[in-house]
Structure 1
Amino acid sequence: MNTNHRTFEARLAEFREQRFGLFIHWGLYALAARHEWVKQRERLTDGRYRVYFERFAPDLFDPDAWAEAAKGAGMRYMVLTTKHHDGFCLWDSALTDYCVTGTPYGKDLVGPIVGAFRAKGLGVGFYHSLIDWHHPDFPVDGLHPAYTEGVSNEGRDISKYADYLHGQVEELLTRYGPIDTMWFDFSYSARRRGGELTPGGKGRADWRSEELVELVRRLQPGALINDRLEVPGDFVTPEQYQPTGPVAEVWEACQTLNGSWGYDRDNLDWKPVDLLVRMLVDTVSKDGNLLLNVGPNGRGEFEPRALATLRGIGEWMRLHGRSIYGAGPSAYQAPPDCRYTQAGDRLYVHLFSWPYRHLHLPGLAGRVRYAQLLNDASEIRTLIPDPSVDSGHTRLSALPDGTLTLQLPVRRPDVAVPVIELFL
């Protein structure tokens, strides 16, 4: 039964207020610990890949700890991979044996995760792969692990697979209460590598995307749907890059901690906390959300490096969250190496580099009632030079009319990204 009574408009407004969420990529590939595409990258057969199914036993799984880490980082919602491209399902699906109840762990994982995040007041969304490298009716194509093995597609019927896909989505949207987001991944009928289309690439017609959207709207009318069905979605999803300018649509950037979505033991390319905070700020300044990924390991834990990163972001968010939640772009033009976010009559200046003593803000002279550092609420004084009185400020008189100059301390605040709060 659908228990989601929110309107679509209310959910969209909530999404734009939340701004920061947790992506969770977890499945059999956590045991391989070599990227979530390990089956495809290494061309593993079903038989070779099954060793992970037979040993999936996350004995340290604690969804409350996951939810606590997300909340501590300042995240407001999560999106969980219910099924990735390998076809393994984290819930007890009635439509396949290739699910968690067939592993040594033997119990549903989706329900406890949903419950833990809801208990912390966090939103709940589901990622669901449109691709399935395990299903017998999913035709082998240029992305399939078996593509180079000469496997025949005789007897494989994509329409039967689409029935299965829709049936699983219906299970997910009727078993776990209100779901905020259905995050589908991905279509590739027009995907090119080296100028060539992916052989056998699949998309809108294969998934019966219009019907899938109708199914989600009927079962969860308040849920948002992303843009990867080859039909218009409610928001767009730039992946692993930051847009260089404003985005016309509602959008959510999805980013990793180290370039891998699934647990990748030997990947040491970890982004530092200050870079991730700058990415979050940059996203919100362009009216977007940031969905930041963690890949739990095979025993069911967030690894220490991920936890340390989340704690670092959380410390910044504890002090600066009001420049993010409910904030968005400003009509004012930020100076170099800065980003503006604005919420009502408060304008937030995020300084990506710390200048010596003065910060010049075009167009804000006479528009600011008060200024303070956000981390400690210490006053930042303004400077209105008068060359006839103080020749030491003659150089400032060349600034464009309407420029507000702030007097900064010489020493940079000890935070990932300093923020000045301006009361307009």
Structure 2
Amino acid sequence: MGKGDTRWFVHDRFGMFIHWGLYSLPARHEWVRHAERIPNEAYEIYFEMFNPDLFDPKAWAKAAREAGMKYFVITTKHHEGFCLWDTKYTDYKVTNTPVGRDLLREIVDAFRGEGLKVGFYYSLLDWHHPDFTIDRIHPLRDLPPEEIAKLNSTRDMKRYAQYMRDQVTELLTNYGKVEIIWFDFSYPGENGKGRDDWESEKLYELVHRLQPGIIVDNRLDLPGSGDIETPEQFTPDKGMVDAQGNPVVWEGCQTFSGSWGYFRDEMSWKIPRMCIEMLINHVSRGGNLLMNVGPTSRGYIDRRALDRLAAYGEWMKYNSRSIYGCGTAPAEFPAPADCRYTWNPETKRLYLHCLVWPFKHVHLENLAGKVKYAQLLADGSEIRIREEKTDNLNSHTPQGALTLELPTLLPGQGCEVPVIELVLK
């Protein structure tokens, strides 16, 4: 597999994705150019109007840190082609908009200031660039075939591939240490684009020459190059493995709503508890969670996203021990119904996350004689354990199992999803 150093990554487990660009002005999905077949000339109004007067990257970074996030990945350029930094290779950049500043620099400085590691998203697609050929998902895909052929006759993907390498060189040279680069995305096949179009081998080697140890995602259409698998908008039902059945490093990228960019009218927002459960499900299956926010065109994170970040923060304040440094529990310990285990191999502690709070007791298979102490993680209160059978017909402890005797009610803080910490002998 790849060359990236993922040790910190699998410890930290939780990051913030940020999708922010000109698409925040129409505010109806970051793929609005694709969906509405918008040509460059019609999209230009958003470039002329981009002026995030309420932009406060320190507030973004503070919200991420308080949510328990340890790293971030920001869209330096999305498929629309707009660049969030002062690149030398195009005029289609933030310093030529009314805001007139390198906002990427300010974002990086703010998040580093809060102790988060830095990740850059860079789109392989570019619907604005004059050398990017019109293909099956381009905004101009519905033009007459002869017109597409005429336009493509003047476009050169080799020049575009060089443009990408030049820009990636800037990103990985001018902003200090970058821990992650997230390329997005390949769609090989008929009238698509893949490794030959991106010149992925050259791009991959450039990245590792400029930033040794950087984590690269798996979307270059270059088998064996990805350090992480990146399931999107779904949660794998078990840990991910390679062709040989060995566990791989993976990171699910998810949204609070159905859109990555700011979408004013989007109504399918996940409730806070579902967001917490997504984090638990990812870590219990050996993965990271990269949860997205889409700031508004004025430069702030809207209240719906802030509410969910705050819910993460409230839960993580009391339960982060069950996330950081944790992963899939040993197979010998199957989780009870409606529960998820995470496991910290360094501290030898097993964490039982109860998605539904059991009444009075829960039986844990194969743990008899193996637990030194159990406590409710939220407040550190003891949970009594029992291993022998009793005369109580309603709570026989199965052979080889450990029974936890539970309170009927839970304390308030940190119990949106209650966690029991099991200290193994």
- Equivalent residues in 2 for 1:405-424, closer than 5 Å: 405-414=403-412, 415-424=415-424
In the alignment, what sits opposite 1:194?
A: none
Deviations 1:209-258 (A, max 9, x none): 11111000000002100000011201110000010112121100000000
The offset of 1:395, in angstroms, is 4.6
The offset of 1:411, in angstroms, is 1.4
In the alignment, what sits opposite 1:383?
A: 386
In the alignment, what sits opposite 1:4?
A: none
The answer on whether the counterparts of 2:111 and 2:118 sit within 8 Å (CA) in structure 1 is yes
- The answer on 1:318 being equivalent to 2:317 is yes
In structure 2, how many angstroms separate the alpha carbons of the residues matched to 1:341 and 1:413? 22
In structure 1, how many angstroms separate the alpha carbons of the residues matched to 2:68 and 2:411? 20
The answer on whether the counterparts of 2:361 and 2:395 sit within 8 Å (CA) in structure 1 is no
In structure 2, how many angstroms separate the alpha carbons of the residues matched to 1:355 and 1:319? 20
- Equivalent residues in 2 for 1:267-416, closer than 5 Å: 267-331=266-330, 332-343=333-344, 344-387=347-390, 391=391, 393-397=392-396, 399-414=397-412, 415-416=415-416
Corresponding residue SS for 2:381: coil
2:365 counterpart letter in structure 1: P
Q: Find runs of 4+ consecutive structure 1 residues off by over 4 angstroms.
A: none
In structure 2, how many angstroms separate the alpha carbons of the residues matched to 1:377 and 1:217? 45
- Equivalent residues in 2 for 1:141-290, closer than 5 Å: 141-150=135-144, 151=148, 152-190=151-189, 199-231=190-222, 232=224, 233-248=226-241, 249-290=248-289
The gaps in structure 2 that reach 5 residues or longer are 242-247
The answer on whether the counterparts of 1:351 and 1:418 sit within 8 Å (CA) in structure 2 is yes
In structure 2, how many angstroms separate the alpha carbons of the residues matched to 1:101 and 1:115? 17
Corresponding residue SS for 2:371: coil
- The answer on 1:138 being equivalent to 2:132 is yes
Identity fraction in percent: 54
- The answer on 1:50 being equivalent to 2:44 is yes
The answer on whether the counterparts of 1:385 and 1:394 sit within 8 Å (CA) in structure 2 is no
The offset of 1:61, in angstroms, is 0.5
In structure 2, how many angstroms separate the alpha carbons of the residues matched to 1:100 and 1:21? 25
Q: How many residues align?
A: 404
The offset of 1:383, in angstroms, is 2.6
Corresponding residue SS for 1:88: coil
Aligned CA RMSD, in angstroms, stands at 1.3
The offset of 1:401, in angstroms, is 1.4
In structure 2, how many angstroms separate the alpha carbons of the residues matched to 1:105 and 1:98? 13
Q: Which stretch of the first structure deviates more once superposed, 17-26 or 399-408?
A: 399-408
The offset of 1:337, in angstroms, is 0.8
In structure 1, how many angstroms separate the alpha carbons of the residues matched to 2:328 and 2:15? 19
The offset of 1:200, in angstroms, is 1.4
Mark the CA change 1:141 to 1:386 in structure 2 (over 3 Å): closer, same or farther.
Answer: closer
The answer on whether the counterparts of 1:273 and 1:416 sit within 8 Å (CA) in structure 2 is no
2:206 counterpart letter in structure 1: L
In structure 2, how many angstroms separate the alpha carbons of the residues matched to 1:102 and 1:246? 45
The answer on whether the counterparts of 2:363 and 2:398 sit within 8 Å (CA) in structure 1 is no
1:60 to 54, 58, 65: 54
2:15 to 18, 21, 29: 21
Deviations 1:26-50 (A, max 9, x none): 0000001000000110111111111
Deviations 1:281-334 (A, max 9, x none): 111111111000000000000001111110111010010001100111111211
TM-score, L = length of structure 2: 0.93
The offset of 1:386, in angstroms, is 3.7
In structure 1, how many angstroms separate the alpha carbons of the residues matched to 2:18 and 2:305? 12
Deviations 1:144-194 (A, max 9, x none): 00110233311111111111111111110111000000100000004xxxx
In the alignment, what sits opposite 2:105?
A: 111
The gaps in structure 1 that reach 5 residues or longer are 1-7, 191-198
- The answer on 1:81 being equivalent to 2:75 is yes
Deviations 1:316-360 (A, max 9, x none): 001000110011111121111111111131110000111110111
In structure 2, how many angstroms separate the alpha carbons of the residues matched to 1:386 and 1:91? 66
- The answer on 1:91 being equivalent to 2:92 is no
2:219 counterpart letter in structure 1: R
TM-score, L = length of structure 1: 0.93
The answer on whether the counterparts of 2:94 and 2:101 sit within 8 Å (CA) in structure 1 is yes
In structure 2, how many angstroms separate the alpha carbons of the residues matched to 1:412 and 1:174? 51
The offset of 1:394, in angstroms, is 3.4
In the alignment, what sits opposite 2:245?
A: none
